[in-house]
Amino acid sequence: MIDFAARHRVVLTALGLWLLFSLVFQASAGLRASWGARITGDEPFYLMATHSLLSDGDLDLRDEYRDRSYREFYDHPNPLWHQSEKTADGRELSPHQVGLSVLVLPAYAVAGLDGVKAFLGVIGGLTVAFTFVLALRITGRFREALAGATVFGVSAPIFVFSTQIYPEMPAALLLVAAMTLHAGKDRPGAAAVLASAAAALGLMWLGVKYAPAAAVLAAFAFLRASGPSRVALVALLGIGGAHYIWFHLDTYGALTPYSVNMYYAGDGTASVVDEHFAFGNRLYRLLGLWTDRQFGLLRWAPAFAMGLAGAYFALRRRPAAALPLLLTFAGQLAVAAFFTITMRGWWFPGRQLVVVLPLVGVFIAAALVEWQRAAYLLAGALTAYGAAITVALWRATSALEVTLAVNPFEMEWKPFAGVAGLFPLYTSYGPLTLLLTALWAAALGALLWLAWRTVPPSAAGMTSWLLDRTRLRHALARPGPSVRSSTEGSGIGG
């Protein structure tokens, strides 16, 4: 009876979060991305492919340009520009993965642009719900899991990207849902293993940049699977991977759609990767993605800083459960820092890391478990400020004072504008930028040091535990608490 009541509470809470945030995120659907158009950047090209699939059954955009059918969703007074060079056989293709275009096709068929944005908002709400469940399974604590998911959901980047026509939020949902399937105590069944394989393949169809997350999902599913399920997993990944390669070679002549982009036209996959990758002059992004005055995540959601300490706590207390999350996060951070040409662009801040922000919500829950009252006071204050930023952004964009993709960081709300000088601006590298960078690095280092002092490494050592491959494989097969124990108070700090 207790187990049933606990599960009932979890299910009702998750459903409530889904409904609540799905409704909240609809408020961002009508906000304009630029002064001249409701959608901009890459968004129109995802919908161009959707329209072409719906009207012609193919991905060739020549007739969409000729007939200007993009006017159904693109309201800029000027014609839509071209992102692609024509292929050798004369086709014009969108230089983006086709997964998102296919995903939103039913919503577009029913209600056009409004339908797509409403549908993506529902996906955003579902992502918040799964963040709660994953945090509950990792920490074993109901209240802290709910708080971590809420911090994630009220942040401005999530509010915006939940209805932006980008693959970020669908990818985040696939990632957090698949990890939730494997974070329970019991060995997953065949359905969960195969769902993880489908999620890994789905991530690749949404974007090549999600390859690290897909690889971790596939590896984690393999380690946790039983013999027959492993065979099915390998077979599904093999068939799906072969189809993925065949489709891209047949459609684009390369392993990615980037080869038809005007900038990369004619380049092979290796050349595209080489042009994207750099290390030395992008090393600053490991901090800049968080602290930049315009595009840094902490500028818009300062409570995310607590995730740094929470990641340590999660790895220290439950290494097997936390390790896949940390590997996924580290992989996507590396992509954002070293493989993305720019961290600044014609989009709302935080785009490069949205896919792994649910994991930050989980880590925040872990920090709340360890630090309790002090953490709740700090998280409460920072989350209230972050939520106020979200509301102020909605008001400023609704009034056309700023737009989402052009200049949201110029919002004049005084509590937001007043602290701008505390953040370095990585468009210039004078003494002030270097000083602020050092201060932020010291502050985040101090946060991690406090976490280390709270739960110092044991004599056995976390590193030696992780290097014990036999023990690690055994733990990965059964990494987390049950739902019953999670609602009875056992957990990461127990």
Residue pLDDT, tens place only, 13-29: 999 999 999 999 999 99
Residue 216, pLDDT > 60, answer yes
- Give the chain's mean pLDDT: 89
Specify the pTM.
0.92
- The domains of the chain are located at 2-59+95-486
Per-residue pLDDT band at 482 (split at 50, 70, 90): very low
Please state, as a whole number, how many other Cβ atoms lie within 10 Å of the Cβ of residue 342: 10
Q: How far is 116 from 114, CA to CA, in rounded Å?
A: 5
Q: How far is 432 from 415, CA to CA, in rounded Å?
A: 21
- Assess contact for 294 and 425: CB atoms under 8 A: yes
Q: What pLDDT score was predicted for residue 425?
A: 96
pLDDT digits (tens, 9 = 90+) for 252-276: 998 989 888 876 555 555 555 556 6
Q: How far is 462 from 448, CA to CA, in rounded Å?
A: 16
Residue 319, pLDDT > 90, answer no
Q: How far is 238 from 241, CA to CA, in rounded Å?
A: 5
pLDDT digits (tens, 9 = 90+) for 325-369: 999 999 999 999 998 888 888 899 999 999 999 999 999 999 999
Structure tokens at 148: 């971590």
Q: Quick one: angle between helices 168-182 and 190-206, nearest 10?
A: 160
Diameter of the chain measured on Cα atoms: 70
The closest alpha carbon to 224, from 480, 482, 491, belongs to 480
* Residue 279, C-beta contacts closer than 8 angstroms, at least 6 positions apart: 338
The DSSP symbol for 337 reads I
pLDDT digits (tens, 9 = 90+) for 26-44: 999 999 999 999 999 999 9
Please state, as a whole number, how many other Cβ atoms lie within 10 Å of the Cβ of residue 378: 17
Residue 464, pLDDT > 70, answer no
Q: How far is 490 from 494, CA to CA, in rounded Å?
A: 5
Residue 185, pLDDT > 60, answer no
**Percent residues over pLDDT 70 in the chain:** 87
